[in-house]
Amino acid sequence: MVTDPTIGVLALQGDVREHLTALRAAGVTAVPVKDAAALAAVDGLVIPGGESTTISMLAIRWGLMAPLRQAVADGMPMYGSCAGMILLADTILDGRADQQPIGGLDMVVRRNAFGRQVDSFEADVPFPAIGEPPIRAVFIRAPWVESIGVGVEVLARVDGPRGDRIVAVRSGSLMATSFHPELTGDHRVHALFADVVRHGA
Ligand code: GLN
């Protein structure tokens, strides 16, 4: 058990500040992570929303892709929101040809699945692991989870404009949501992740 965890936010691109704020509101120490030394110093990592192709390109360029994959292999808890979900997927559909995931979550994720920017939407999504009420979920060029492997738990689904879709998952100490809880002031998903970091898988 890690009683007083420090959680990093991968700070290559995306809404880093919003995740830092949400983590601090959930009661943990939160720091930006830009290099392998900073990654080695945290107990868990959030991969923010943003643009997964850019985050992937910058991670490769700055030598962080291998350390990130090693951290997943070593069991570091990670939570990816939106672009972060795409980066944690073992398989990406509709990605860019040269886009490389960090991987770790045995699932197939479809990038931009709900459509382009104009198709962004919000919905109240039941999320039993965080309790009542349902979470107000903001979907911005969001992916969905097309299929999951053995051992991946569905945390939430949305009955949205494109049918009933999986939008939050957990497998061991890895978590991902299609939506952006860092944008709404509801810190229950970050608190759930902080518990995963404290108690492990
Ligand atoms: N569509 C973006 C991507 O492919 C994700 C959008 C988001 O994080 N809001 O990375």
Q: Concatenated DSSP letters for the chain?
A: --SS-EEEEE-SSSSHHHHHHHHHHTTSEEEEE-SHHHHHT-SEEEE-SS-HHHHHHHHHHTT-HHHHHHHHHTT--EEEETHHHHHHEEEEES--TT------EEEEEETTTT-SGGG-EEEEE--GGG-SS-EEEEESS--EEEEE-TTPEEEEEEEETTEEEEEEEEETTEEEESS-GGGSS--HHHHHHHHHHHH--
Rounded-to-integer distance, Cα 111 and Cα 10, Å: 20
What tens digit of pLDDT does each residue of 73-99 get? Answer: 999 999 999 999 999 999 999 999 888
Q: Which residue has the higher pLDDT, 40 or 160?
A: 40
1 Cα: distance to centroid of ligand 1 (angstroms): 33
- Sequence length of the chain is 201
Domains of the chain: 6-199 (3.40.50.880)
Percent with pLDDT over 70 in the chain? 99
Q: 132 catalytic, yes or no?
A: no
Q: Residue 10: pLDDT above 90? A: yes
Q: 190 catalytic, yes or no?
A: no
> Is the Cα torsion angle 47, 82, 165, 167 positive or negative in sign?
positive
Q: Which of 38-47, 65-74, 113-122, 178-187 is least confident?
A: 113-122
Test site for ligand 1: of 16, 51, 116, 122, most ligand atoms within 8 A of the Cβ: 51
Q: 180 catalytic, yes or no?
A: yes
Q: Which of 130, 135, 141, 127 is nearest to 178 (CA)?
A: 141
Q: Residue 196: pLDDT above 90? A: yes
Residues flanking ligand 1, CB < 6 Å: 49-52, 82-83, 86, 111-112, 140-141
| Cis bond upstream, residue 48 (ω within 30) | no
pTM score above 0.85: yes
Q: Residue 118: pLDDT above 80? A: no
Rounded-to-integer distance, Cα 103 and Cα 118, Å: 28
The average confidence (pLDDT) of the chain is 95
41 Cα: distance to centroid of ligand 1 (angstroms): 27
Q: According to the model, what pLDDT value does residue 119 have?
A: 75
Q: According to the model, what pLDDT value does residue 62 have?
A: 94
Q: According to the model, what pLDDT value does residue 197 have?
A: 98
Q: Residue 33: pLDDT above 70? A: yes
pLDDT tier, 120 (very low <50, low <70, confident <90, very high otherwise) = confident
114 Cα: distance to centroid of ligand 1 (angstroms): 11
Q: Residue 117: pLDDT above 70? A: no
Q: Residue 114: pLDDT above 90? A: no
